[in-house]
Amino acid sequence: MSGPADEGAALRFGTKPVGDVTVFYREAGPPDAPVLLLLHGFPTAGHMFRDLIPLLADRYRVIAPDLAGFGNTVAPPRASFDYSFDALAKVTEGFVEAMGLTRYALYVFDYGAPTGFRLAMAHPERVTAIISQNGNAYMEGFSAEWGPWEAYWRDPSPDNREACRASLTDEAIRFQYQHGAPEGRVSPDGMTLDMAYMRRAEAQEIQLDLILSYRTNVALYPDFQAYFRKHQPPLLAVWGRNDAFFIPPGAKAYARDLPKAEIHLIDAGHFALETHPAEIACRIRDFLERNGV
């Protein structure tokens, strides 16, 4: 039986205009609770946090926006919008300000990491802690799977762009979800929705633009690391150790700049929340409580 005590944890949905973009977001938790900002990755959206949010919303105000070009966020066509990571961060920063968020912990995954780290560098005073779940900031974190993307970064030719299109197929999305995950534990729901998103008008071209823009994230790694060294944010790295793309050395590398970083490798793949939301939620709660968040 539910009652008034449960209402704060109920999932809510909304939008915020940020320039020409209408950002869609999911939110749960008491309005006056400490904020946890969840930033998703490729090729998914805020729905990847559907199992995690209820596990944290009793204590935290948990907010998960869809990045520009993803999910239910409405952004202009490619002809009138720059689909780059600088633009994703700018829109996300506008969303944070539209929501009136002045202090928050960051949960960053995959594309959410370079987006969130740009926010952290711009406003270090806002960041109370960072949880990186397979969110990379070190060259050691790249696996050999990045070959076609790296070739496109070095030479953005039409042929190299086409070679990256293989990353956008149903088979590639299914591999991202299932590789390294415990047998029979991955629901088809998330991957099926992501496959549908990839079939929308301009979706593949937008994603190819962002694949090229990813090289700007790598160029910023020294700046991200300098931010870590200077500001020493509490950091929890909780990674699926079987990730085919961001490998465990990327998680361990955080300790080089953040000696107090807490690093946990779990028996999961890239989309660790698909199979281990309860374990990750437990580690987050313990980590944030011990760090006064």
- For residue 203, CA distances in Å to 29, 78, 85, 86 come to 32, 10, 16, 18
For residues 12 and 25, what is the distance between their CA atoms, to the nearest angstrom?
8
Residue type present at position 64:
A
Which one of the listed residues 40, 47, 270, 276 is annotated catalytic?
A: 270
- 270 as an active site residue: the answer is yes
CB hemisphere CA count around 15 (13 angstroms): 14
Q: Compute the CA torsion angle 166, 168, 170, 172 (nearest 10 deg).
A: 60
Catalytic residues: 270
